[in-house]
Structure 1
Amino acid sequence: MTSVTILALPRSAFAELTATSETLRRHVEGFRDKTRRPQNKYGEAEIKLAAGHDGEPTLAGTYVDYELRPREYELSVAQTVLKIHTRVADLFNDPMDQVEQQLRLTVEALRERQEYELVNNREFGLLHNADLRQRIHTRSGPPTPDDLDELLAMRRSTRLFLAHPQAIAAFGRECTKRGIYPPMVEMDGHTVPSWRGVPILPSGKIPISPTHTTSILAMRTGEDDQGVIGLHQTGLPDEYQPGLNVRFMGIDEKAIMSYLVSAYYSAAVLVPDALGILDHVELSH
């Protein structure tokens, strides 16, 4: 029904490995002894039931995981060259305003590429950096309220869902079948659908497979909340926006002005449960 990952080790290879390590062999034998149930004289397994308790349990010490070799994130870069003819200065009263408008469109295109990479990049993209324990499958194919409830239950303080517009429409159809009408909420001046008070934001950058399935992401955001955070370079020369700079490259022999526009970015999931994914979301039957 759904994709899985299987790691298989032949029994002969396992036996060969345990034969070379006395420590491993003792560990395996100890595990086997713990899992064997005692048998009575009739060869039947005995099950002992106990009520109450005897003494106080010994609590093991609590330790915080410490990564000796933490992952290092390298910023990705998206670049493009904006070219404007110097005749712009002759045709318009305010040539710098025209340059500003061309630059605005160029930056928007770069930000679109940045959003795609933050979702799909193999190194740091959200779809490829979710912990396997935080990935679940839909119960019946289409995204149902039960599926989103399970996704919510896997983490605290979920700040948002991220889904393809077609996945949001499919979720709306499932809600309508059940007579449920999720409320709309306002976020950054926009009205968006929500579930359990968590906004569902649309992103056309989430891919749709050839079998017409996609994924829905749920995340906690912010460094203070140990969530998903965006990374960018600070202190860039000729910085135009955070993590983005514009450098004048000169005028060529054809009287064309060139500007190098660069955006530096990445994303990090600070703890595994900050990001969860609902996979194999069917968009239609």
Structure 2
Amino acid sequence: MSPTPAAAPYDLGPREYELSLAQSVLCIHTRVNDLYNKPLNQFDEQLRLTVEQIRERGEWELINNRDFGLLHETAYDQRLSTRSGPPTPDDLDALLARCRSADLMLAHPRTIAAFHRECNRRGLVPETVRVRNRLITAWAGVPLFPCEHIPVTDRQSSSIVALRTGVDNEGVVGLHQTGVPDEHSAGISVRFTGVDEHAVARYLVTGNYGIAILVADATAMLEHVDVAII
């Protein structure tokens, strides 16, 4: 018998991910650089704080942006609701069953506290794993990281997101552009834009970022999680 002809499916119009930007202008008087750089370099400290603010904004966008954020891009068949409201161990088992080989979970700190309360009611002690010398709550070996960027609604409900990461794992991949002019660090550039008539130097700080879910089951989300203290 001759083999049956077959062809691999190919998307002629794949989705393109455009990087988003967060920008801020750092203003610092020239006399600060001249006179007040000891014992701390004031410019370096102000720049560090500005870069941290840019990265913080980028993290918020990766979670909440309506075009590419995890809360909006998770496939609908990868979403499930809690059984009774608060996040129970059974709910987390169901969540991890939706996300193949999950590497981590993200939840608001109040959601993690609610999960601990449900474990206490059942006489269970959640396991912990050490990540960068910090003990993190885990379930089924998957760390549950606190993320304050995941909102808590006025009705005291929130979400838990499970992720598989990495290109090789067909997971979630963070995106940024390197090698840009005036690069400060990965995805961050600092561009001097001049000194005004008041001797104030200005620097444009730009961060570029994005995120891509390579395969639908790389994420799963537990919705309508009740975090109210009863």
**Is TM (by shorter chain) over 0.5?**
yes
Aligned pair partner of 2:90 in 132, 139, 146: 146
Give the letter for the 1:215 counterpart: S
Q: State the distance in 2 between where 1:162 and 1:97 align.
A: 36
**What is the aligned length?**
226
Aligned pair partner of 2:60 in 109, 116, 120: 116
SS of match in other structure, 2:41: helix
Q: Which residue in 2 is equivalent to 1:272?
A: 216
Q: Which has the larger radius of gyration?
A: 1
Aligned 8 A contact 1:89 1:95 in 2: no
Q: State the distance in 2 between where 1:161 and 1:192 align.
A: 11
Q: Which residue in 2 is equivalent to 1:193?
A: 137
Normalized per residue, which structure has more strand? 2
| Pair 1:79 & 2:33 matched | no
Q: Name the CA shift for 1:188/1:249 in 2 (closer, same or farther; >3 Å).
A: same
Give the letter for the 2:51 counterpart: V
CA deviations over 1:167-190 (Å, ceiling 9, x no partner)? 000000000100110111111232
Q: Which residue in 2 is equivalent to 1:231?
A: 175
Q: Which residue in 1 is equivalent to 2:11?
A: 67
Q: What displacement does 1:89 show?
A: 2.8
Give the letter for the 2:15 counterpart: R
Aligned 8 A contact 2:33 2:43 in 1: no
Q: State the distance in 1 between where 2:211 and 2:29 align.
A: 36
Compute the RMSD of aligned alpha carbons: 1.7
Aligned pair partner of 2:187 in 225, 243, 263: 243
Identify unmatched segments of 5+ residues in structure 1. Answer: 1-59
**Aligned residues with identical type, % of pairs:** 55
Q: State the distance in 2 between where 1:167 and 1:62 align.
A: 48
Q: Name the CA shift for 1:171/1:244 in 2 (closer, same or farther; >3 Å).
A: same
Q: Name the CA shift for 1:266/1:143 in 2 (closer, same or farther; >3 Å).
A: same
Of structures 1 and 2, the one with the larger relative CO (CA 8 A, separation 6+) is: 2
Q: What displacement does 1:97 show?
A: 2.2
Give the letter for the 2:33 counterpart: A
Give the letter for the 1:146 counterpart: D
Structure 1 residues 220-229 or 84-93, which shifts more?
Answer: 84-93
Q: Which residue in 2 is equivalent to 1:281?
A: 225
